[in-house]
Structure 1
Amino acid sequence: MSGGIHTAFDLSFTHTEGRWARPGSWIGRDFPDVRMFQEIAVTAERAGVDLLFFGDGSGIPDTWRGSIAPAVEWGIQWPRHDMSPIVAAMAGVTSEIGFGLTYSSTFMHPFYVARLLNSLDHVTSGRIAFNVVASTRSADAANYGFDELMAHDERYERMAEFIGVCRALWRSVEPDAILRDRATGRFADPSKVHPIDHRGRYFSVKGPLSAVPSPQIEPVLVQAGGSPAGIRTSAAFVELAFGFGGSVAAQQRYRTALDEALTAAGRDPARVGILWATQVIVAPTAESAAARRRDILSFWDEEAVGAHLSHNAGFDFSGLPREFRLGDLAERIRAAQATPGGLVGMLVDTYGEDHRISRADFFEHGWRHATGLDHTLCGTAESVADALEENFAATGARGGYMFSSPLATPSGLADVAELLLPELRRRGALAPRSAGSTLRERLCV
């Protein structure tokens, strides 16, 4: 991966958790007005951002107290639309920036996803990335006919087969199969169009893909699994990883684990970067940045926090006892086939499994975690750039950052584009712009 910091904007929650109401939000436009996203795309491309990313989930959070009411009332990770039509519209007003879309290998069928992403790669002239996820949320599972979550490791077994089928489909029509010979009327060479005849544990797909090969042949493949099973699975195909971690030590452990898995899979770790999920508040002065940070706190109450935490863990935290051991909670979450990462993983990493914590202290940590303020870089462009450069060097100097903002949209991300990125560019910290025409050439070569 080319040296220097690559950047992405996370647009997954531009309209949730109160961002729609804060000072600096759009007036007269509401989600999902396509013009909002076109404006963000133009601003981000002008600033030199490499990728616009959309996470996804198809269920309304209902894990907290078994009800959708808190999430609906407070707009917690809801509403969520399929953003593929929005991406097509953003592609029409840009020429270089890439677009990352998320689909679940746990619930979706690989033929549908492979065909959809092939079409979008054509529409965007080769600027699509595919974030494949193993879903952990019961609200999503219920919408696809699942009464309970699939076992954790089985989700990754299904992901491996899912990606294998997608990649076979994307390559089932050879790049030079299309002839378009006007003299003879022959459209394509049948000898270069191949059924895949896949029969596996989860999928049976005859193929070939009923589509013309796209500019990238296959989209840039992205994954964010942090568990041992997730890392092992993604090492076979991932071109760009999304990373989390509440501390430099946790980020370094993830980088090491991913490098070891890539090596075991016969791949060069130097060619796989990590975009670290990073929430930022940037302002002209430290005082104004701190004031913006304080404004965020007024939105969250326990119901909003509980809905957010429970949904993302796939575990209902409303029944926690007055005091408990962190390791016992992590084990209960694993037994429910949910994920002990996120807040619980961070607390275990910080305090250890034997640490006892009160319910009140857990939700105090949860409040800071849900707002993102426990891991938000807040300050001037100069101070935030200092922190990013130091962190980039400490975590392998391969990849970069996927920025999100807890502030109103579009002002929060506009500050990143107009204040932070020019400062990083002035320092020579950003990755040089590639002359390539596709996202893969710009981001992964």
Structure 2
Amino acid sequence: MRTDQMSLVAFMQAGSTSVYAGSWRHPATEHSYLDASYYAKIGRQLEEGCFDLMFFDDRLAMPGIYGGSVAEAVRYGARPVKLDLSVILGVLAQTTSHIGLGATYSTTYYAPFHVARTFATLDHLSRGRAAWNVVTSVNDSEAQNFGLDTHLGHDERYNRADEFLDVVAGLWDTWEDDAIQHNRASGQYADPSKVHELGHVGQYFSSRGPLTVPRTPQGRPVILQAGSSGRGREFASRWADLIFTGDPGIDVARSHYLDQKARIADAGRDPASVRICPMAYAVVGESESHAKEREDMFLNDLVDPMASLTLLSELMNYDFAQHDLDDPVTDELIASVSGIRGLVQNLRSHIGGDTVTVRDLAGHRATLLQGPRFVGTGRQVADQMEEWFTSGACDGFVMAATHSPGAYEDFVRMVVPELQHRGLFRTSYTGTTLRDHLGLDRPAPSFASSAS
């Protein structure tokens, strides 16, 4: 029997839709995503519900793989707007007090020093609430915004990312905790023996260091990662504090959970020190029939298949415009995917294996059915979440929104109290940092043992 409590994470977008492509058409969606107060409002709502963390997805290009054009993304609102996350999190650091704040940054198109400084600064300004969602980016459109023609291959991206994380973690550790002295009498600001050069020279990166930001409240910001391929799972096992998954059913989730925990142990880490949380939707109603009506709108009324194929093409780095809707999703097609290959494999397996067509894939991707969808009253949704948590399928959930901010309002009002009543989730924040919320230790600086 579990004695811990589940983690709850909000999966955010800094733009015109939630992760669900049709959310901008939902009657309860607010279109004030260009206003700082919109994000502050959602942050306060989630904090009222004692969420561990809100983190923002990102992509470094407008979806433009489908048909070689951004036209469909613009026409159908398939996530064409993506704001700068460092600014959004700066706002949230000042308008929230407890909830963790995370952003997605790419190891392919940013530099390690830049990322290390950004998240160290956020960790200070938020008093220990920063998280970095590590991605390797997914498509050629992103490459073409950074002076390249094509995106790096799948395994090379992860090889590069491993070294990127080595550099970032090393930079975060270049200041020891007690380096700063502020000794007015002696005139010594900090102890030079406690501030270290990194001196990294590797295959992909070199960085002298030290970082220009002192050691942070968390020691290191929390690392999130969502790799679903074998190489991605290996990477997550080495680096992640929280692993974000996309498993469509509870049996698949249990299998993934066991596999990932075993990989974490093989990497020499304590499996209990890493939280595994699948993405999920909750469609909550005042009654079961009300929830079903809401689900029907979500499933059938709001997303055009073209928007779905536009997003699929973006994520897979594969142009689905070359196929008819009734073409089969073959092994050869999957082998041609250089983006998030694990996602299309999981979708095909969930829908029906070798009989799946592009139309099927589009229909399921439109509603993001690669994760569980919990539907019902607050009590019924809590029942479903409890089953996943207590049966060894997860350590919590990354909650996506069918519409924003209303989906989070409903969840906090109707589901969170049920989870709290059952002892499955906290009733208040007991710590001050995101590591405290997640039950994670503060890492010691790697240079400390060699300091004189």
Normalization by structure 1: what TM-score? 0.92
Deviation at 1:205, TM superposition (A): 0.5
Counterparts of 1:258-269 in structure 2 under 5 Å?
258-269=260-271
Counterparts of 1:178-327 in structure 2 under 5 Å?
178-296=180-298, 297-320=300-323, 322-324=326-328, 326-327=330-331
Partners of 2:241 and 2:70 lie apart in 1 by 36
Partners of 2:62 and 2:15 lie apart in 1 by 16
Residue of 360, 382, 405 corresponding to 1:385: 382
Residue of 341, 350, 372 corresponding to 2:368: 372
Secondary structure of the equivalent of 1:103? strand
- 2:56 maps to a residue whose letter is F
- 2:168 maps to a residue whose letter is C
- Evaluate the alpha carbon distance shift between residue 228 and residue 368 of structure 1 in structure 2; reply closer, same or farther with a 3 A threshold: closer
Partners of 2:381 and 2:330 lie apart in 1 by 32
Partners of 1:186 and 1:329 lie apart in 2 by 63
| Contact preservation (8 Å) 2:15, 2:79 | no
User: Which residue of 2 is the match for residue 419 of structure 1?
Assistant: 414
Per-residue deviation, residues 28-61 of structure 1 (Å, max 9, x unmatched): x621211011111111111111111101101000
Give the stretch that moved more between structures: 283-292 or 316-325: 316-325
User: Which residue of 2 is the match for residue 6 of structure 1?
Assistant: 7
Per-residue deviation, residues 370-392 of structure 1 (Å, max 9, x unmatched): 22357422211111111111111
User: Which residue of 2 is the match for residue 15 of structure 1?
Assistant: 16
Counterparts of 1:24-423 in structure 2 under 5 Å?
24-26=28-30, 30-296=32-298, 297-320=300-323, 322-324=326-328, 326-333=330-337, 337-348=338-349, 351-352=352-353, 355-358=354-357, 362-372=358-368, 375-396=372-393, 399-407=395-403, 409-423=404-418
Partners of 2:52 and 2:340 lie apart in 1 by 30
| Contact preservation (8 Å) 2:233, 2:260 | yes
Deviation at 1:152, TM superposition (A): 0.8
User: Which residue of 1 is the match for residue 434 of structure 2?
Assistant: 439
Partners of 1:227 and 1:200 lie apart in 2 by 25
Partners of 1:396 and 1:383 lie apart in 2 by 18
Partners of 1:84 and 1:201 lie apart in 2 by 28
- Evaluate the alpha carbon distance shift between residue 34 and residue 438 of structure 1 in structure 2; reply closer, same or farther with a 3 A threshold: same
Secondary structure of the equivalent of 1:129? strand
| Contact preservation (8 Å) 1:2, 1:431 | no
| Contact preservation (8 Å) 1:323, 1:356 | no
RMSD (Å), alpha carbons = 2.0
Secondary structure of the equivalent of 1:236? helix
- Evaluate the alpha carbon distance shift between residue 348 and residue 327 of structure 1 in structure 2; reply closer, same or farther with a 3 A threshold: farther
- Evaluate the alpha carbon distance shift between residue 79 and residue 212 of structure 1 in structure 2; reply closer, same or farther with a 3 A threshold: same
- 2:139 maps to a residue whose letter is R
Secondary structure of the equivalent of 1:187? strand
- Evaluate the alpha carbon distance shift between residue 120 and residue 13 of structure 1 in structure 2; reply closer, same or farther with a 3 A threshold: closer
Can you give the 5+ residue segments of structure 2 that lack an aligned partner in the other structure? Answer: 441-452
Partners of 2:98 and 2:241 lie apart in 1 by 19
Partners of 1:88 and 1:338 lie apart in 2 by 30
Per-residue deviation, residues 333-386 of structure 1 (Å, max 9, x unmatched): 2xxx2332224432135544xx2444xxx3134223222357422211111111
Partners of 1:373 and 1:396 lie apart in 2 by 17
| Contact preservation (8 Å) 1:13, 1:77 | no
| Contact preservation (8 Å) 1:118, 1:170 | yes
- Evaluate the alpha carbon distance shift between residue 349 and residue 40 of structure 1 in structure 2; reply closer, same or farther with a 3 A threshold: closer
Partners of 2:188 and 2:177 lie apart in 1 by 16
Partners of 1:94 and 1:349 lie apart in 2 by 39
Can you give the 5+ residue segments of structure 1 that lack an aligned partner in the other structure? Answer: none
Partners of 1:293 and 1:356 lie apart in 2 by 26
Deviation at 1:434, TM superposition (A): 5.6
| Contact preservation (8 Å) 2:15, 2:82 | no
Partners of 2:203 and 2:314 lie apart in 1 by 29
| Contact preservation (8 Å) 1:286, 1:379 | yes
Partners of 2:271 and 2:399 lie apart in 1 by 23
- Evaluate the alpha carbon distance shift between residue 416 and residue 325 of structure 1 in structure 2; reply closer, same or farther with a 3 A threshold: closer
TM superposition outliers: structure 1 runs of 4+ over 4 Å:
431-434
- 1:415 maps to a residue whose letter is D
- Evaluate the alpha carbon distance shift between residue 57 and residue 323 of structure 1 in structure 2; reply closer, same or farther with a 3 A threshold: closer
| Contact preservation (8 Å) 1:63, 1:139 | yes
| Contact preservation (8 Å) 2:316, 2:341 | yes
Report the number of matched residues: 433
Percent identity, aligned pairs only? 32
Deviation at 1:221, TM superposition (A): 1.0
- 1:366 maps to a residue whose letter is A
Deviation at 1:393, TM superposition (A): 2.1
- Evaluate the alpha carbon distance shift between residue 432 and residue 259 of structure 1 in structure 2; reply closer, same or farther with a 3 A threshold: farther
- 1:257 maps to a residue whose letter is D
- Evaluate the alpha carbon distance shift between residue 190 and residue 226 of structure 1 in structure 2; reply closer, same or farther with a 3 A threshold: same
- Evaluate the alpha carbon distance shift between residue 425 and residue 14 of structure 1 in structure 2; reply closer, same or farther with a 3 A threshold: farther
Partners of 1:349 and 1:289 lie apart in 2 by 24
Partners of 1:252 and 1:21 lie apart in 2 by 34
- 1:6 maps to a residue whose letter is S
- 1:306 maps to a residue whose letter is L
